[in-house]
Structure 1
Amino acid sequence: MNQKSIICLTILLLLVVTGCGKQQASRPPQEVAVKAMQVMQQTTPVTYEFVGEIVAKDEVPIKAQVSGSIARKLVKGGDTVRAGQPLFEIDQRKYLATVADAQAQVAQAQASLSNVSRDVRRYQKLADQGAIANQMLDTSESQAEQIQAQVNAYQAKLDQARNDLNDTLVVSPVDGKIGVNELSAGQYVQAGSTVIATVSTVDPVQVRFSMSENEYLKFARMGNSPDDWGKNLKLILSDGSEYPVAGHLDQIDRGLANQTGTLAMKASFDNPNQLLVPGMFSRVVAVGETRQDALLVPQRAVQEMLGKTFVTVVGSNSEAVSKPVKLGPKIGNLQIVEEGLTIQDVVVVEGFAKAQPGSPLKVTMIGLNDLAIPVAK
């Protein structure tokens, strides 16, 4: 190949490359298909959520008042029991014998008292007639008082023996459900120390949760006392469903916890169907202030990066525009936007990950029903 041919080939290649480059440069960028919706504006109450744990309002450890071996179990673990219902029976033989012995002592003392009382009455008549010295009457009356004291002491022992016998039947002090870790028949229990079983109340139950110091200050500065926001609490269960019964604030701790800096609280919820079980986790929802004309967007439209939050909006030429925003509280699955958007903005809800700033957009407008997002009320 001569030099002239090489030069011609080179020029030809340059023309081809230049032509391809012009064709590529002239090709318009491909539109990104997105779904978007108009920023909403409405007056809405602001809700606050707190992670909570369901606990029994009362958990009563059952302890026997007398010592002995468990003779019978009258319930099974997990049974629902009523206050006063017998749960266990402790071997009664020793306590029956003690009652019988105490009864004999009382009877013997009462017999002695009866004899001395007759002597006192007889000596009283003789003393009135001057037939005996008053000292004999005084001695007889003193003996009667001593025996009466013995009768009283033996009667007290008899009463205690009868109480001990009654206490061999262990009953539930409250309505509730008995645990499954109860003792079995034949096991020995020590009076006042051995826990035979535990009964937990089931209706109502409490939800234990904590409020941070900042959240507490926010409520206080808004003028919302616990008597205001704690009246009508909602409960969201772990599966996302809302518990149908409203609750109320029941207890507030005396101060912030030293280690966590949070204020512990308990809310009470009626539990007639026993759906709520101690140990379940849930979210307590409290209504705070009402925001007038709040701007709302779906939470899924909000993007976070390097500690900043922003959304993608549809620009005037249907291009992607990234806008930083300042977020307020969450309202269900919606998010209040305090700064960065206006009511005229159209926010990209789906597809923004592929839409770089400046990218042309093929926009499909949708509404809340298309996203299955509940409207804030």
Structure 2
Amino acid sequence: MSMTRSKLAWMMAAGVSLLVISLATLQGQAEDKPVAVAAMPAVEVDVAPVVARKVVDWQSYSGRLEAVERVDIRPRVSGTITEVHFRNGAQVKKGDVLFTIDPAPYRAEVARAEAQLAATQARVRFTSAELDRAAKLVADSTIPRRTLDEREHNARDAQASLRAAQAELDVAKLNLSYTSVTAPISGRVSRAEITVGNVVAAGATGVPLTTLVSVSPIYASFDVDEQTYLRHIASVKDQTGVPVQLGLANEAEYSRAGTIDDVDNRLDPVSGTIRVRARFDNADGLLVPGLYARVKVGGSDPQAAVMVDERAIGTDQDKKFVLVVGDDNKVSYRPVLLGSRQEGLRIVTGGLQPGERIIVNGMQRARPGDVVKPKAVAMERPVTQVATR
């Protein structure tokens, strides 16, 4: 009986051992067999072909706006200011009255000169009549020739006095007109430095009554480096035809177009620059002398360029790159050299060819070597004919 139990226990232990060995064998086989993994779907990215376009290469500079004409308004006669006819900072037209100087003394001077002229005219008439009578009497030998000569002299003297009296009247009237101080040019006035009740003296000394600057056109002065001068300006026969564009401090782009007005006659040997002045229309009067201005100069003929969207450009430490999608939709890493930009599009000077496709949206979802699902789009912003550095 005990032998039967022992045999039964031995058989059960052997069965358990066989079961453990079988399970271990099956597990090992399962680990050795590769597990099939489902393929990841291709990532969809926005892809656009690089754009080839002819552009003009521009060079950008900083400058200041200057008035074409600036006038210190000064009195041409002395007297008391009785009226100021403008509002500080207002725009005025040529001929507008700015100040009035008390005209009473000058009206009196005109009246005196008119009276003097009338007296001289009467004398001229008298001496002329005397001369006519003397000429008749000399013909009859009634008076000597000397008397005729004296009356001729008196008549000529009266004529000279008449011209002097007329000149004095003209001066008196001119001085009276100067009591109305008018704008010699159209433009914008400063504040009135001399107000009503103050006495002013004629002449160029002393404080001006106000200053007046022209509004349109307006100058922008800036310094151009030697290379730009030689490439864009000196090589052009008519330097005043070189195009320029202007942008203000609060503008992202260049809002106004103009041309070079004049170039200085010498290069500064210290800075290696030459002074250039450009001319711009300012019909709206928004440009004010003294404002900071961004000016770009272009003079080269349009050149072929490859342009891409700014968003398509990535940064790898000190390098710039784009992700190119090949004909097999595989992504490749491409270092690029960048040039100037315009309205969100960047000129690529090296690394890309016209017609190649690049990722413009979704770069973070793609890596070099990946196969992607390209979605054809256009470059986000339209390309223009102008490029700036």
The normalised TM-score by structure 1 is 0.71
1:227-259 C-alpha deviation (Å, 9 max, x unpaired): 5542xx433232225566533333333333455
Structure 1 Cα separation of the partners of residues 56 and 203 of structure 2: 51
Is 1:310 aligned to residue 323 of structure 2? no
Letter in structure 2 aligned against 1:153: A
Question: 2:185 is matched with which residue?
Answer: 174
Question: 2:202 is matched with which residue?
Answer: 191
Question: 1:6 is matched with which residue?
Answer: none
Q: Which among 82, 90, 102 is matched to residue 101 of structure 2?
A: 90
1:350 to partner: Cα distance: 10
1:163-190 C-alpha deviation (Å, 9 max, x unpaired): 0011111111122221124421122322
Q: Which among 220, 223, 230 is matched to residue 210 of structure 1?
A: 223
Letter in structure 2 aligned against 1:191: A
Letter in structure 1 aligned against 2:275: A
Q: In terms of mean alpha carbon deviation, does 112-121 or 158-167 score higher?
A: 112-121
Letter in structure 2 aligned against 1:69: T
1:36-84 C-alpha deviation (Å, 9 max, x unpaired): 9778341231331332333322222222211222111111112221111
Going from structure 1 to structure 2, the CA distance change for 1:181 and 1:108 (only over 3 Å counts) comes to closer
- Count the aligned residue pairs: 333
Structure 2 Cα separation of the partners of residues 364 and 195 of structure 1: 75
CA contact (8 A) 1:301 1:311 kept: yes
Q: Which among 277, 293, 298 is matched to residue 282 of structure 1?
A: 293
**Percent identity for Structure 1 against Structure 2:** 29
CA contact (8 A) 1:36 1:363 kept: no
Structure 1 Cα separation of the partners of residues 52 and 324 of structure 2: 23
Structure 2 Cα separation of the partners of residues 55 and 304 of structure 1: 44
Structure 1 Cα separation of the partners of residues 237 and 150 of structure 2: 79
Q: Which among 304, 317, 321 is matched to residue 292 of structure 1?
A: 304
Question: 2:18 is matched with which residue?
Answer: none
Letter in structure 1 aligned against 2:301: E
Letter in structure 2 aligned against 1:311: K
Structure 2 Cα separation of the partners of residues 274 and 208 of structure 1: 18
1:191 is paired with a residue of what secondary structure? Answer: coil
Q: Which among 49, 52, 55 is matched to residue 45 of structure 1?
A: 55
Q: Which has the larger radius of gyration?
A: 2
CA contact (8 A) 2:65 2:220 kept: yes
1:135 to partner: Cα distance: 0.9
Is 1:272 aligned to residue 283 of structure 2? yes
1:267 is paired with a residue of what secondary structure? Answer: strand
RMSD over aligned Cα, in angstroms? 4.1
Question: 1:201 is matched with which residue?
Answer: 214
Going from structure 1 to structure 2, the CA distance change for 1:235 and 1:220 (only over 3 Å counts) comes to closer
In the TM superposition, 1:352-367 aligns within 5 A as none
Letter in structure 2 aligned against 1:206: Y
Going from structure 1 to structure 2, the CA distance change for 1:331 and 1:53 (only over 3 Å counts) comes to same
1:289 is paired with a residue of what secondary structure? Answer: coil
Going from structure 1 to structure 2, the CA distance change for 1:163 and 1:52 (only over 3 Å counts) comes to same
Structure 1 Cα separation of the partners of residues 377 and 185 of structure 2: 49
Unpaired runs of at least 5, structure 2: 1-44
1:143-174 C-alpha deviation (Å, 9 max, x unpaired): 22223222222221121111001111111112
Structure 2 Cα separation of the partners of residues 149 and 221 of structure 1: 61
1:246 is paired with a residue of what secondary structure? Answer: strand
